[in-house]
Structure 1
Amino acid sequence: MTLLIVALFGACVGSFTNVVVWRLPRQESVVVPGSHCPRCGHAIRWHDNLPVIGWLLLGGRCRDCGAGISWRYPAVELASALLWLSALSVQAGGGLSEPWRPWAGLVLVALLLPLVLIDIDHLWLPEPLCRWGMVLGLLFSAGAGWTVLGDHLVAAALALVLLEGLSGMAERILGQPALGLGDAKLAALGGAWLGAAGIAVAMALGTLVGAVVGSVGRVSGRLQPRQAFAFGPFIALGIWLVWLRGADWWWEQWQRLLGF
């Protein structure tokens, strides 16, 4: 029953995430007006707005004008539900005490998912989401004691300064930034939730996966030379993986892979 409730709430938050991802880049309110068809403007009925199920019952089309509704909407709702379920399996949780870890993780993943989708769509990581995500991470860290809070505060500051410095250095050498400033702010968010060791491992994981995906994109021709692509999703992936398992666990897996 707990798993079902968590999955349902996760799907509902995924539905709201779709609204945030569509409206925030357009500087529209995420609250008013309510959900409506972007083509005909008709308000979506509550039973048509049920996560995943509503889309299936409608056959992927607006009830009023028949316009197609992208498959991405139910996909995001389903992904959100699965991510919420994965939050219950947390073993690390950035040093937070055990009873708080799953609930803090739900907040973290609710922040990461819209950031990932907006970055994919617009190559932009909204500063307000990153800033509030960092503040919430530090608030949760404060509940674990001064030692954890201090580590996470320093990690957030260092991640921001180091990545902004790296981006500036690359711009001088290569003529273009290696990372967007939003990536630095997302890394700072990760530092606030994971601490220094955690965000270091998260960035290593994100860079590794991003390099593989980027290389495949270049070889396949989907990415042109020097073409920018969203790096935020890889940072977010690293943050979530380290949140669930911890920096030490991932370091052990790396050593095992190399045969140490």
Structure 2
Amino acid sequence: MSLPIVFYIFAFIFGAAVGSFLNVCICRLPKGESIVFPPSHCTRCDYKIRFYDNIPLISYLLLGGKCRSCREPISVQYPVVELLNGLLALFLFIKFGPTPTFAVLFLLCAALVVITFIDLEHQIIPDVISLPGIVVGLICSFFLPWLGWFDSLTGILLGGGSLLLVAYGYHLLTGKEGMGGGDIKLLAMLGAFLGWRSVPFIIFAASLAGSVIGVSVMLAKGKDSKLAIPFGPFLAFGAVLYIFYGRQLITWYLSLGRGGGG
């Protein structure tokens, strides 16, 4: 069913507006601060941001990327997050329309945006997102006919359990911690929202993307580079890829095996 273009425009605007709130979460959650109080303000001069300076994307452009009061530069992260979340909302709406699936997957993607930017900067995945996310994903499964509570519960166990085994095995072999508990909880949350079938795909896509980026960084900075690359953003990438193209890619991959059978 084709909808008037205004619906798609609204989906993007809605996503960008939520992205403005996600920036608050990204900034405050690692510090243990409230995401409600105080209201949005400049972190340098404490200037209280007015509503007309808080319009997603537009205000950043009109202000030239600087605080109205102290004229200090505003991080480019703010419009990037707003644009990214707006595009995610738009593409989800195009794929799923005004359905419960859109609402649930938009909630998941918004959480993944926050997790990605926090993990990139601080190398942590806040439990305040992943642990409630596991519960919320399981609850949502009761209202999504394509998922179901059993697939969700199995996804939690498979997602968390698989990475837990990997982490345990790595520790036994090397005596070092190779994967944080945050990644384990994140994959359990993804299994809760997307079901157990998504877990192998997400792990494969995340590992492949992580390897490509890791090798690229090593080649750029030298073999002795000690740069730690968080795995959470790659798990988030794998989950988003599964949402939009997972079934098509799995079908394509299986068709290669059938085609090669002679």
Scaled by the length of structure 1, what TM-score is found?
0.90
**Matched residue, 2:142:** 142
Q: Does the 8 A contact of 2:158 with 2:199 survive in 1?
A: no
1:86, 1:224 → 2: CA distance?
A: 40
**Matched residue, 1:114:** 114
Q: Which moved further from structure 2: 155-164 or 217-226?
A: 217-226
Q: Does the 8 A contact of 2:154 with 2:196 survive in 1?
A: yes
- Residues 1:28 and 1:189: Cα distance change in structure 2 (over 3 Å): same
**Matched residue, 2:182:** 182
**Matched residue, 1:214:** 214
- How many percent identity over aligned positions? 35
The answer to whether the aligner puts 1:46 opposite 2:46 as a matched pair is no
Give CA deviations for 1:49-108 in whole Å, capped at 9, x if unaligned: 1111111111111111111111121111111100111112446xxxxxx93221211111
**Matched residue, 1:60:** 65
- Residues 1:208 and 1:256: Cα distance change in structure 2 (over 3 Å): farther
2:182, 2:15 → 1: CA distance?
A: 26
2:147, 2:254 → 1: CA distance?
A: 28
| 1:229 shift after superposition | 1.0
1:176, 1:65 → 2: CA distance?
A: 46
1:52, 1:117 → 2: CA distance?
A: 18
1:208, 1:251 → 2: CA distance?
A: 15
The answer to whether the aligner puts 1:80 opposite 2:85 as a matched pair is yes
- Residues 1:88 and 1:226: Cα distance change in structure 2 (over 3 Å): same
1:194, 1:38 → 2: CA distance?
A: 37
Q: Which moved further from structure 2: 221-230 or 159-168?
A: 221-230
- Residues 1:64 and 1:18: Cα distance change in structure 2 (over 3 Å): same
Give CA deviations for 1:6-32 in whole Å, capped at 9, x if unaligned: 111111111111110010001110110
Aligned AA (1:189): M
Q: Which moved further from structure 2: 249-258 or 57-66?
A: 249-258
- Residues 1:55 and 1:183: Cα distance change in structure 2 (over 3 Å): same
Report runs of 4+ in structure 1 exceeding 3 Å deviation: 144-147, 222-227, 253-260
The answer to whether the aligner puts 1:20 opposite 2:25 as a matched pair is yes
1:228, 1:251 → 2: CA distance?
A: 31
SS in 2 for 1:51: coil
Q: Does the 8 A contact of 1:198 with 1:242 survive in 2?
A: yes
1:231, 1:244 → 2: CA distance?
A: 21
2:212, 2:72 → 1: CA distance?
A: 37
Q: Which moved further from structure 2: 141-150 or 5-14?
A: 141-150
| 1:147 shift after superposition | 7.5
- Residues 1:188 and 1:74: Cα distance change in structure 2 (over 3 Å): same
**Matched residue, 1:105:** 105
- Residues 1:90 and 1:203: Cα distance change in structure 2 (over 3 Å): farther
1:225, 1:165 → 2: CA distance?
A: 27
**Matched residue, 1:250:** 249
**Matched residue, 2:3:** none
Cα RMSD for the two superposed structures: 2.2
SS in 1 for 2:191: helix
Unaligned regions of 5+ residues in structure 1, if any?
Answer: 92-97
1:223, 1:237 → 2: CA distance?
A: 26
| 1:154 shift after superposition | 1.4
| 1:228 shift after superposition | 2.4
SS in 1 for 2:197: helix
Matched ranges for 1:123-202 at <5 A: 123-144=123-144, 148-202=148-202
Unaligned regions of 5+ residues in structure 2, if any?
Answer: 1-5
Q: Does the 8 A contact of 2:23 with 2:81 survive in 1?
A: yes
1:216, 1:57 → 2: CA distance?
A: 36
1:228, 1:175 → 2: CA distance?
A: 18
Give CA deviations for 1:199-237 in whole Å, capped at 9, x if unaligned: 111111111111111111111117855642111111011
